[in-house]
Amino acid sequence: MRRQYYRDIVLPQLNLTLSDQYPLLRLDDHPGYHSLAQHENVMLVALTGSGKTTTLSALRQMLDGAGMDVIPARREIADCIAIPTVQTWRGQPMRHISDRIERFQHTKAFAERVPGGMAAAFSWLQLSNSVDGPLITEGIRGPREINHALRHFPRWTIIELSLHPLTRLRRLSARKEPFDRAEGPADLSFLPRDLQDEAHSLQHAGAITASALKIMAAEASNYGIYPFADGAGFSNYHCLPIDGLAPAEVARLTRDIIGETQHADH
């Protein structure tokens, strides 16, 4: 019923041009298309600052782009599904939201009413039956989304990058993405006590910024700060610790897991 609400009420109000960039994708039901939930899909998962974008870029070169860029990433799915759906529920006008903390609030509100949150939103995507072979995407995060995907979409493989929280904070503080905008107070209370003193010293030294703290605190309230704890119970979940590894090595290890997964399926 939730997807039907989106299809019947929300989607007609949107001015979308996704088909220009993703010609094999639809957001409504149509003959000759099937749900992403039914398609073989490798989902690369990582919390902010873990190097997911860099890994995907290196992986694209290694694989010559095979299976990539067929469907949108998390930000676009949030913009075309989760955020406008929440705005419609609330009787608010549809508007683009750039502040990351406000975006976290909207995706959290979406997940409170749609089991699986953004994992469910991805499953609403409809792929052309002409799409052959596995896709490689990114877009879910946190234990609830990962658990939902593993339990409900058995053809999906989850590869989660694991990086120390303070390393992620330093990376997030150093990068200059326009998307990294956040309003509101910053504090260290979202970190475990054994990390707060070191984080305070790093902040005092200028190695981590208030903006990075705000973003990670908001993310932690939705998704935590550590990888999925119950992954050992699922054969289609892989946690990849990447502390100390160069981006090319992370991409190579990710490629190896993808190769092993595909070999096991055959």
CATH number of the domain that residue 245 is part of:
3.40.50
Q: Residue 157 above 70 pLDDT?
A: yes
- For tokens 């054969």, name the residue: 235
Quick one: pLDDT at residue 115? Answer: 95
Report d(CA 262, CA 256) in Å as an integer: 10
Residue 187 lies in a domain: no
Burial of 67 (C-beta count, 10 Å sphere; 0-12/13-18/19+): buried
Beta strand pairing status for 41-45 and 33-35?
A: unpaired
Residue 168 lies in a domain: no
Picking from 109, 112, 105, the residue whose alpha carbon sits closest to that of residue 218 is 105
pLDDT band at 179 (very low <50, low <70, confident <90, very high): low
Residue 183 lies in a domain: no
Cut 0.85: pTM above it: yes
Q: Which helix (H) or strand (E) holds 249?
A: helix 247-265
Quick one: pLDDT at residue 230? Answer: 96
Residue 93 lies in a domain: yes
Q: Residue 155 above 70 pLDDT?
A: yes
Joined together, the tokens standing for residue 196 give 């707060």
> For the chain, how many structural domains are there in total?
1
